[in-house]
Amino acid sequence: MSRFSYKVFTYNNRAIMNNDETLEADLKELGDQGWELVSALPIVKGDGSDGEVSVSTDDIKFIFEREN
């Protein structure tokens, strides 16, 4: 059996109902369940060609762990 369990939570930064307060509430709820944030990664998307590159991100992937 693994020593840790992992949870991945993807947060969309542009969703109408999402803001700093809702993100804080989501993170607090996960913390109250015993999850510890170990990493936050932007999901980067890009397109373009020959020097015309556009890079943006709307989603952030949060990775949590907790001991079993």
Give the per-residue pLDDT at 38.
Answer: 97
Give the per-residue pLDDT at 48.
Answer: 66
By residue count, the chain amounts to 68
Instruction: Average the pLDDT over 12-24 and give the result.
Output: 87
55 within 8 A of 45, measured Cβ to Cβ: yes
pLDDT digits (tens, 9 = 90+) for 25-67: 999 999 999 999 999 999 887 776 666 667 788 899 999 999 9
7 within 8 A of 37, measured Cβ to Cβ: no
In percent, how much of the chain has pLDDT > 90? Answer: 59
68: pLDDT strictly greater than 80: yes
